[in-house]
Amino acid sequence: MRIIQTIFFICLLISCEDNDINKNTNLTLGTYKGQFIRSNPYAKFAPSNITLTITRDKFSGESDKEKYPAICNGTYKITGQEIEFFDACVWTADFDWTYILNGKFTLTTHGRKVEMRRSQNGQSDSYKLELQ
């Protein structure tokens, strides 16, 4: 009888499913299009349209506004609910380097839609994308 209860309990644990979409960080490979938006309490920023291509372990992309954000190419890794970009490009000093797609972002996926977000020094950067 105890063995049957143990087996039942193990089966119950295995069958439990977490349906929280915020924990779904499966990032489908392909080309994403969407918007980049920077915000902070003291300024209003215009959105820009971006394209981001994700391959097996590399990324590349572009924006319709020069260096806003600055997307070139490099590698990335996903750990849990976080994506970290490692930019491989050489940049000039004539713009704000916080616009470079580099570093850690919180990653949320839901179907074909992806959001990457980070906050630092009172401002927030958000990439809202959809798989094409």
CATH of the domain at 124: 2.40.128
In 3-state terms, what secondary structure has residue 112?
coil
**What is the token pair recorded at 54?**
């994700």
Of 106, 114, 124, 98, the closest CA to residue 44 belongs to 124
Split into its structural domains, the chain has a count of 1
Q: Full-prediction pTM beyond 0.85? A: no
Which residues, including other chains, have CB under 8 Å from residue 131's CB and lie 6 or more apart? 28, 30, 31, 32, 112, 113, 114
Residue 88 is assigned to a structural domain of this protein:
yes
**Residue whose token pair is 């990335």:** 76
Residue 84 is assigned to a structural domain of this protein:
yes
Residue 3 is assigned to a structural domain of this protein:
no
> What number is the average pLDDT over the span 53-68?
97
- pLDDT for 44 equals 85
> What number is the average pLDDT over the span 51-79?
97
Residue 12 is assigned to a structural domain of this protein:
no
Residue 104 is assigned to a structural domain of this protein:
yes
Q: Dihedral, CA atoms, 33, 34, 39, 43, nearest 10 degrees?
A: 100
The amino acid at residue 100 is: I
**Residue whose token pair is 């215009």:** 46
**12-43 pLDDT, tens per residue?**
344 444 433 334 467 999 999 999 999 999 98
- pLDDT for 90 equals 97
Q: How many CB atoms lie within 10 A of CB 57?
A: 11
Q: Please check whether residue 123 is in contact with residue 37, taking contact to mean a CB–CB distance below 8 angstroms.
A: no
Question: What residues make up the domain containing 55?
Answer: 22-131
> What is the Cα Rg of the chain in Å?
19
Residue 6 is assigned to a structural domain of this protein:
no
- pLDDT for 131 equals 98
